[in-house]
Each structure stands twice: as structure tokens, then as C-alpha cells.
Amino acid sequence: MNKDLKELCKDIRCDIMTCIGHLGVGHIGGCLSVVELLAVLYFEEMNIDPANPKMEGRDRFVCSKGHAGPAVYATLSNRGYFGKEELLTLNQGGTHLPSHCDMNLTTGIDMTTGSLGQGFSCAVGVALGSKLAKDGATIYALIGDGESQEGQIWEAGMFAASKKLSNLIAFTDYNKLQIDDTVAKVNDIAPLADKWKAFGWNVIDVEDGNDVDQVSAAVKQAKRNRTTDRPTMVILNTRKGCGVKWIEDLGAGNHNTNISEEQARAAIREIRGED
Amino acid sequence: MEMRAVYAECLAKFMEEDKHVVVLDADLAKASGTRKLYEQFPEQMFDCGVAEQDMASIAAGLSSYGFKPWIESFTPFATRRICDQIAISISYAKQNVKIVGTDPGISAELNGGTHMSMEDIGVVRSIPGVVIFEPVDETQLRAAMPVLNDYYGPVYMRLFRKVTPDVFGPDYKFDLFKADTLREGNDLSIFVSGMFTRDVVDVADELAKEGVTCDVINVHTIKPIDRETVIASARKTGAVLTVENHNVIGGLHSAVCEALALERVPVSAFGVQDRFGEVGKVPYLRQALGLTKEDILAAARKAASLK
């Protein structure tokens, strides 16, 4: 099942390695951890049209952990929003692909994010807008686990439940790592599922957020939850740096990592299973 | 009529005419004068509770969906509390959000120092892309509201919410980006914003009796400041005084000094001397902080003498 999506995840991972490798530094770990989610959303679930990126009533995706921009760009490029050659301009002066997502620069990006916590509130505003417009769109938002230490995340969570925004489906990239150390050691967010339940959300806990079949099933379940009058939080237990062993082994050190083009080429061979 | 009542009346008209106009509160709808609009416009009024950061970013999300959000709170919580949300969610993202802060400076009165923003203009003025507007009376506010509603982009309105003395007459024509000349003279330019404007007009009339004539210019829009008017007046009179209900650092005085940086003219400052506020009614606070009408008169005499 979903063999094509699995191949697609490899393509997206390779494109992440290519563009960050070309630049020499970037947020590799938190890009690699969310690939399966992006593949499922952009290739399976979202009502979007790359030829008409501002289509009215389209589903929208807010990447509140804005530093995963390169993963979103790789996905958008594979989906046909822009050519793959553009990925090589990542973070170069004058690029349309900045490190953090920018709705005014990049075709297909629905919200400007990067100052953690804010994108999630913006997504709640978008979901409220869609509800007022009665256009039936589904609004997706991705937050980080470190980002979940921001108070604004919980302000937004409370408001979304209070306003019964069942058209909002959020995901936590629960890779358990942040810049300074493990999330548990820095400022623990556990028990995460209990917190979201207490905030009035449906919660789906996905055991392996890097298993595309599990992610796909969870998103389908979340969409069925629209009848419940509650927003849904899908907790994706992921691996930061997933797909490239040495990056994954860096642990908390893989948040923003230097990488040579040779290392990137080796990583691509590993992702392709060519080693 | 209270300024907040005028403000709420205008919002009601906008919401009636356009379903895309929405108003967001952070548990201060009563103070802002908009509480009663919740019954009339249940699908356009949203109370986010005591969560100003969330309110600001939700408004940005609504704007990205084609809505025209107004957000409101007390001045300090509509600015310094949500500085990053104004910067990133709203202005950097180029969203069309109107930010309304009520009770500026000493007008926070009995809420005291914690609620008494002396720095809000400075905070917002340093964020690119945000227009800063401070109305002085009912006539100006009424004229400005439709202009703000139609202007695409972030505007911070610093709103005195109670009754203000009249400054403008029925023939008043408002231009958001043009300062208003209230008196014309040759000896001193007084640039004034906000609640001291009426007093400054009186002070100018007083000085005229002494043979000192003043330009009195209401700088209702502090950013972008009307450089043309400010520079022309300063060149004509050769001496400048700024008058504001704000710290003399970061607000109108700073904006005027920046506009006049290349001019050879003394620019004196009248305002809050880099200190926090405290609890009290306006007459007490004006005494305590050196902001009385007599203080303005003395400052104007001194400023005029410097040329």
C-alpha cells in the first residue's frame, strides 16, 4: 500500500539533501522528520491545484515550525508548484525560498511563519475564516514539539476548541529533540496527548510518524473527525533526521547542521538504498 | 460623545456594510465600547479572551483569508505585549490588520503604571510597515475611521477613549498622511499629537498676546510623519517644540527630530521624561509628571527663545 508515496518520500528527502547540501547548512533534522506528513497531505489529501495556487476554497497548510521550509519547498516542487532548479536557490540572496516560510515570496505557501507559536494562531485564524466563508476547506497546521513550549500554542489551542473549529487538523512533529537538548530535559511537554485532550481536541497518537501508511490512516481519521465539533491534533512520533543515519545519530545536534555536497550525495545514495 | 462610542458606531457601520470586517477582543470589549456589538454581529465579533498574542496572529490568519480584522486592547497590551506578533504575523506577512490601543499614556488613570503606556509609539514605530495614527477629537476620528478601514495594511490607532475637547470644526477634511495646521505663526512651530492638542492651541493663543506667534500642527499620523509639513514649518519659524502624551524617547519628539535631522533648528521636547506612569486621575498625573497646561506654556516660551 502507498508504494508510490514511499517512493515520493525518498524523492522529497533527496531534494531536501540536495538543496541544503548545495547551500552547506540548514535545518536538516526537522525537515527530514516531517516528509511523510507532507507527502500524504500534498499528494493524497489536500484539495489544491498547483496551476491555480490561490484557488478559492482550497485546503491550506500552515507550517508553523517555519524552519521546515526546505521540506515544504521540496514537496511543492515535486507537486509541480515550481521547478526543481529553484530548490538550489534556497537561502541565496534574492531567492524565493527563504529558510522560513514566506507567503509573499513562495508560490504555494499559505502563511508566513518562523517566529514560533505564531503560525499556529494564524492557522486558527485561517480555519475561522474558512468556517465564516462556509467554503468547506480543511486547514492543516504543523507545529514542532519544541515549539509547543510557546505559550501562544496553548492560547490558540484553547480558542480553536472553544470556537469548535473542526475544520482544523494539526500535527505535532514529536521527534523529542530541540536545539539545546532533548525536549524532556529542556522543558518537558509530556504527557502531550493528555494535554491536547484536556484542551478539548480530538487526539490521534501515531506510533510511527515516519510510516507513511500510519500517517495516511491518521489523516483520514482526522478528516472523519470533522463531525465531532472539535479540532484534531495528530501527534506524529517521528525521528529527527529520519532517513540518513549519521544525521539522525547527531541527535539534538541535527537541528541546524553543516553539510558538504559530498555528504549530501552520500545521504542521497543512502536514501535511495544504493549503498 | 465618548471617543469609544464614535469608534464603535463606525465599526458597526463597516460590519453592516461588509461581512468581511471583523473585530477581535482580548476581554476588553466593554472598555473599548464594542461589547454591545456582539449581539448585533455574532459572526463578526470574536473575543479571544485574555490572550493578546493569539488575537493578533488569529487576525493575521483571518486577513490572509480576505477578512478585514480590527483588534483592540489597552494600549500597552496592543503594542509592547504583542510586539513580535505585530512585526511578524501582521506587518512582515503584509496582512491587513487594524490595531487599536485605548487609554494611551496618562489617560490610563486608575489602572496605574502597569497599564500606562509611555512607550507604545516607540515600540510600533520601529516596526517597518505600520502606520501610527492618534486621533484628537470626535470629528477627526469620524473622518479617519473609513479611511483606516479602506487602507490596506497595518495601522496602529492610539485611541483616547473618553470625551475629548473639540479641536476640529465641521468643515474638517482629513488626510491620513497630511498633518493639520491649527494655527499659523512665525516664531515657533509646535508639533502636537493626542490629548494635549487643545491645550497647545490655547497656549499658542496665549503666546500671541505676548507677541510670540506659533504654528500649531497636529501630527495625527506619527508614522509615516508628514516630513514636508514638518520641515516647511521648522524652516519658517526657526524653533520647534514637540508635545506628546508619551515618553520623549521613541514617540513624536523622536519622529520630528528624525525629520529635522539635517535642519539647523532647535527642537525642544515636552512629554513624559523617560519614566513610568503611576496611579491617579489625569489632573494629578499632569501635575506629577510635569504635563500641565502651564508647563506647556513655559516650555513653549523657552523653546521660542532658543532660536
Mutate to test the interface with A, among B47, B58, B77 (most CBs of A within 10 A): B58
* pLDDT-derived band at A275, boundaries 50, 70, 90: low
Q: Residues of A with CB below 8 A from B56's CB? A: 121
B54:A156 CB<8 A:
yes
Q: Which residue has the cell 473599548?
A: B32
Q: Which residue has the cell 469609544?
A: B4
What is the predicted pLDDT for the residue at A261? 93
Residue A169 has pLDDT above 80, yes or no: yes
What is the rounded CA–CA span in Å between residue A46 and residue A201?
Answer: 21
- Interface pTM, i.e. ipTM: 0.96
The shortest C-alpha distance from A117 to chain B (Å) reads 9
A125:B85 CB<8 A:
no
What is the rounded CA–CA span in Å between residue B111 and residue B281?
Answer: 10
Q: Can you give the pTM of this predicted structure?
A: 0.97
State mean pLDDT over A6-20. 97
Question: Grid coordinates standing for B26?
Answer: 482580548
Torsions phi, psi for A143 (to 5 deg) = -120, 160
Residue A44 has pLDDT above 60, yes or no: yes
Chain A within 8 Å of B65 (Cβ-Cβ)? yes
What is the rounded CA–CA span in Å between residue B58 and residue A40?
Answer: 26
DSSP state of A177: B
What is the predicted pLDDT for the residue at A1? 43
Q: Residues of A with CB below 8 A from B47's CB? A: none
Question: Grid coordinates standing for A240?
Answer: 529527527
Chain A within 8 Å of B281 (Cβ-Cβ)? no
B53:A151 CB<8 A:
yes
State mean pLDDT over B40-65. 98
* pLDDT-derived band at B67, boundaries 50, 70, 90: very high
Which residue type is seen at A271?
A: I
Chain A within 8 Å of B51 (Cβ-Cβ)? yes
pLDDT of A205-245, one tens digit each? 999 999 999 999 999 999 999 999 999 999 999 999 999 99
Q: Which of A110, A122, A151 sits opposite B57 (nearest CB)?
A: A122
Q: Please name the fold of domain A3-272.
A: Rossmann fold (3.40.50)
Q: Residues of A with CB below 8 A from B19's CB? A: 132
A152:B53 CB<8 A:
yes
Chain A within 8 Å of B216 (Cβ-Cβ)? no
> Which H/E stretch holds residue B15?
helix B3-17
Chain B within 8 Å of A53 (Cβ-Cβ)? no
State mean pLDDT over B122-137. 98
Q: Residues of A with CB below 8 A from B94's CB? A: 104
Window B:81-120, CB contacts with A under 8 Å: 84-85, 87-89, 92-94
* pLDDT-derived band at A3, boundaries 50, 70, 90: low
State mean pLDDT over B12-17. 98
State mean pLDDT over B124-129. 98
The shortest C-alpha distance from B139 to chain A (Å) reads 33
Chain B within 8 Å of A132 (Cβ-Cβ)? yes
Contact A113/A67 with Cβ under 8 angstroms? Answer: no
* pLDDT-derived band at A149, boundaries 50, 70, 90: very high
Is the peptide bond between B128 and the residue preceding it cis, with omega within 30 degrees of 0?
no
The shortest C-alpha distance from B187 to chain A (Å) reads 49
Residue B132 has pLDDT above 90, yes or no: yes
**Nearest CA among B61, B62, B72 for reference residue B25:** B72
Burial tier of B1 (Cβ tally within 10 Å: 0-12, 13-18, 19+): exposed
Q: Residues of B with CB below 8 A from A125's CB? A: 57-65
pLDDT of B199-227, one tens digit each? 999 999 999 999 999 999 999 999 999 99
The shortest C-alpha distance from B160 to chain A (Å) reads 28
A118:B92 CB<8 A:
no
| Strand pairing category for A257-258 and A25-26 | antiparallel
What is the predicted pLDDT for the residue at A85? 97
A104:B94 CB<8 A:
yes
B60:A122 CB<8 A:
yes
Contact B184/B236 with Cβ under 8 angstroms? Answer: no
Mutate to test the interface with B, among A109, A147, A152, A163 (most CBs of B within 10 A): A152
B61:A128 CB<8 A:
yes
Q: Which of B22, B48, B88 sits opposite A118 (nearest CB)?
A: B88
Number of H helices, E strands in chain B: 13, 12
> Whole-number mean pLDDT of chain A?
96
With a CB cutoff of 8 Å and minimum separation 6, the contacts of A36 are A5, A9, A209, A210, A211, A212, A215, A236
What is the predicted pLDDT for the residue at B56? 98
- What angle, rounded to 10 degrees, do the helices at A118-133 and B52-64 form? 50
Mutate to test the interface with B, among A155, A162, A163, A168 (most CBs of B within 10 A): A155
What is the rounded CA–CA span in Å between residue B242 and residue B251?
Answer: 10
Q: With the CA atoms of B152, A61, A252 and A199 taken in that order, what torsion angle do they form, in degrees rounded to the nearest 10?
A: 90
